[in-house]
Amino acid sequence: MASKAFLIETAKKRIEALMQLSADAAMHGSKYSSRYTELAEQIRKHYRLKKDRRFLFCKFCLMPLVPGKTCTVKIASSKSFVIYKCIKCGHELKLHY
């Protein structure tokens, strides 16, 4: 049986590969981008890993947030937030900086 560290490392690699696929699919307008994100989230939740801030996605429609393609980016400097707005569903993701 594989060790826990090996399983977690493998899960992280799979999540990274799936999120790259998801971003590429979103760039080319493929319908599978949300599915790749869904699979990555299932793996992340199974192994109880933290969210990786390198890979942003809309939590309602699971669309990867690619600036200029699937989301708009706005800086609210007075509140110290970067706001990513999903083009598909309009949900806003606010990240503190």
Beta strands in the chain, from DSSP E residues, in sequence order: 71-76, 81-86, 92-96
Is there binding between residue 58 and Zn ion (CB under 5 A)? Answer: yes
63-to-4, 22, 40, 70, 80 alpha-carbon distances in Å? 30, 8, 12, 7, 24
Pick one of 15, 18, 56, 86: the residue that binds Zn ion (CB under 5 A). 86
Stretch 60-79 residues interacting with Zn ion (CB under 5 A): 60-61
Q: Distance from CA of residue 93 to its chain's centroid? A: 11
Stretch that binds Zn ion, among 10-18, 27-35, 56-64, 68-76 (CB under 5 A): 56-64
Is there binding between residue 88 and Zn ion (CB under 5 A)? Answer: yes
Per CB under 5 A, residues contacting Zn ion are 58, 60-61, 86, 88-89, 91
